[in-house]
Structure 1
């Protein structure tokens, strides 16, 4: 079986190549990748090469396939796994395998024959042994690709905790019916957090979402409306913190001065972290979600409040397998719709340039369909570019009728009409 894949050979050395996959062993599975979304972690691995903790030292001789947010169909199952998996099953993968002998090994970083930026892959036995090959029962493949980033959000909500006076037991999860703030919260991951907060089984009573970008706040408000939030029992308020001389005071006023039970910080920016600390209420939990690239990143935290007001801070990096299963189930059931994360669509031929330039490309998630040839294109540009491109014209008609969001109908149209890679 031949595959086309983007492989990493060294720092900034990504190559789209065609090569032969080995025949699967009795404990392996052959799979067809349909979609993969590009993560900033793939950019970091690509520019760091073997200096990255998940990337092997010999990639110059044994290159790895990049991409870890993928979804596809099983093609052939080795004898060992025939009772559990079958050809035609849709799947996603939990890349955080947490192997005892190699805790950093992960699909998309560490393996020759499994990664999301490929047409076909061989899934090794250890992925199944560790419970990381996950069934996906939804119709649209792109939701399966978003299950990994969504699991990071789910894990964040699960990691927050609260306490009871006189007890040292941590009650895990956000405070149900409490006050929650999502700071710098209308980027792709922030949008996913809004979606989950409004539709999970442990909702806040008040949800305040802040940012400094008026256009992004407006887009968020058109997707997750105040009216729809109210139907789910949540009072949703969007706040542009630039418009206030004292944003902390204003944010506190929205709680009647009580403060916030849960604050999530979605940007590694010192003033934003410090704002989060200042608006915490009694027993308030600040979750620093955003991963800084600066190893010396720090911010002030009020330790008087830690001692006398029981405030505390946690940080999360990625979700576990149960978080990913929850994400897959909620998407398959239609209770969350993280398509708001996606701002660009492309084919396998666009992966190298997109990955190496990811920080310079505005917008949210870049969704790749690995079996097509298509330059990376912003969904917002479909209308203009569709004037000379019938494929984009058709896609624009579909997404325009879906509040500008990518959807299952658009995916089916693209897969049926796009040029094969």
Structure 2
């Protein structure tokens, strides 16, 4: 079977190509990808090439497929997995396989599996590590967003707290406590807001900061203060570029500081501010992975010693986190559709991936069988004045608070041109 896919041959060398997949082996599964959401991690892999820890050294001769937030349908099952999987099943994948201690992962390391493709071969180690997960939802895009939601879940689970006189660590954020999400209205920050409000273990106070008022306003429309209050969370959005002092952020805690602080941008000043906002036994989670291997910031080790401040860093979730994400979405408790701000086809992947940091907004969602430019949802109406396809999309999105939806996806899959 032929596939069309974005392959990486080196630093900043991405190519959209059509090629033949090899014959299916007994331990493999052939699948059709429908959607993939683009991740900043793919941008980092693209600019680093073989310098990235997950990318093989010989990609100039054996290119790999990019994209790891994929959702699709199984087409053919190798003999080894018959009875466990079947054609027609929808799936999502946990890319962090941890197979025999290797960092290899779909979307970074493999020649025939990645999200930015029309069809892929799922290698047997994915199934052996129980990382091919059945997805029973109606919307493919939600299956694609399960991986980023799992990363947020993993971050919230990885935070920990201590009890004086004991060496036991209590894992997870402080339930009913005080949480801050700094630089928190980008794609992953939006997921963190959604998760913090709607997962079963919630903070009592949630403060979200950023320096972009437009993005803060959109976040407040999608994840409202009123909805948070209905779930027992006192939510505040704060623009730290408007003279809002650090003291004002501390005042929201009653002067105690925060139990849990998440930093969603690899910016030294933001990380150092997060350190200063911690209260006693506060946990600082550096979520945003930097591209610069020499990235540094100053931390107050006096407070580490006397106030039990501590630091963790997370870069992904595990398979249990993926299952949690799929379960929360399946039960309607979290709705990560608000993360999506742009939609495009496979033809838009290369330019979008290589310019991802400079494209405003949230998640960029790709439908891999479609030929569409990357367009912001907020621009659908304007394009619709001359293009009936976008007029239809604008009408649908307007009915859903200008948020992507299963209705919009079904329309796109039916009406958009094939690649």
In structure 2, what is the Cα distance between the partners aligned to 1:379 and 1:297?
34
Aligned to 2:51: 51
Aligned to 1:394: 392
Matched residue of 1:193: which SS? helix
Q: CA deviation at 1:29?
A: 0.6
Q: CA deviation at 1:158?
A: 0.3
How do 1:57-136 residues align onto structure 2 when only pairs under 5 Å count?
57-100=57-100, 103-136=102-135
Aligned to 1:344: 342
Q: CA deviation at 1:140?
A: 0.4
C-alpha contact (below 8 Å) 1:345/1:378 kept by paired residues = yes
Aligned to 1:42: 42
Aligned to 1:179: 178
C-alpha contact (below 8 Å) 1:35/1:116 kept by paired residues = yes
C-alpha contact (below 8 Å) 2:34/2:367 kept by paired residues = yes
In structure 1, what is the Cα distance between the partners aligned to 2:47 and 2:242?
38
In structure 1, what is the Cα distance between the partners aligned to 2:367 and 2:273?
39
In structure 2, what is the Cα distance between the partners aligned to 1:394 and 1:75?
31
C-alpha contact (below 8 Å) 1:36/1:117 kept by paired residues = yes
C-alpha contact (below 8 Å) 1:139/1:332 kept by paired residues = no
In structure 2, what is the Cα distance between the partners aligned to 1:43 and 1:238?
28
In structure 2, what is the Cα distance between the partners aligned to 1:225 and 1:326?
23
In structure 1, what is the Cα distance between the partners aligned to 2:59 and 2:114?
14
Q: CA deviation at 1:10?
A: 2.0
In structure 1, what is the Cα distance between the partners aligned to 2:108 and 2:259?
37
Deviations 1:361-398 (A, max 9, x none): 22221110001111111111101001111111111011
C-alpha contact (below 8 Å) 2:97/2:126 kept by paired residues = yes
Deviations 1:200-238 (A, max 9, x none): 111001111111111111111111111111110111111
Aligned to 2:265: 267
Change (3 A) 1:243 1:46: closer
In structure 1, what is the Cα distance between the partners aligned to 2:300 and 2:43?
35
In structure 1, what is the Cα distance between the partners aligned to 2:12 and 2:292?
20
Q: CA deviation at 1:267?
A: 1.2
In structure 1, what is the Cα distance between the partners aligned to 2:298 and 2:113?
42
Q: CA deviation at 1:11?
A: 2.2
Aligned to 2:141: 142
Q: CA deviation at 1:350?
A: 1.1
1:283 aligns with 2:290: no
1:22 aligns with 2:22: yes
Q: Which moved more, 1:296-305 or 1:200-209?
A: 296-305
In structure 1, what is the Cα distance between the partners aligned to 2:262 and 2:247?
18
Aligned to 1:316: 314
Q: CA deviation at 1:51?
A: 2.2
Q: Which runs of 5+ in 1 are unaligned?
A: none
In structure 1, what is the Cα distance between the partners aligned to 2:60 and 2:71?
27
Aligned to 1:380: 378
C-alpha contact (below 8 Å) 1:229/1:235 kept by paired residues = yes
Length-normalised TM-score, structure 1:
0.97
Aligned to 2:298: 300
Change (3 A) 1:358 1:158: same
Change (3 A) 1:47 1:241: closer
1:8 aligns with 2:8: yes
C-alpha contact (below 8 Å) 2:215/2:361 kept by paired residues = no
In structure 1, what is the Cα distance between the partners aligned to 2:243 and 2:202?
27
Q: CA RMSD in A?
A: 1.2
Q: CA deviation at 1:269?
A: 1.5
Aligned to 1:368: 366
In structure 2, what is the Cα distance between the partners aligned to 1:308 and 1:359?
38
Q: CA deviation at 1:113?
A: 1.1
In structure 2, what is the Cα distance between the partners aligned to 1:359 and 1:50?
20
Aligned to 1:329: 327
Q: CA deviation at 1:359?
A: 2.1
Q: CA deviation at 1:360?
A: 2.4
Aligned to 1:254: 252
Q: CA deviation at 1:33?
A: 0.3
Q: How many residues align?
A: 419
Length-normalised TM-score, structure 2:
0.97
In structure 1, what is the Cα distance between the partners aligned to 2:73 and 2:158?
32
Q: CA deviation at 1:57?
A: 2.1
In structure 1, what is the Cα distance between the partners aligned to 2:209 and 2:358?
23
In structure 2, what is the Cα distance between the partners aligned to 1:12 and 1:239?
36
Matched residue of 2:297: which SS? coil
Aligned to 1:358: 356
Matched residue of 1:243: which SS? coil
Q: CA deviation at 1:161?
A: 0.5
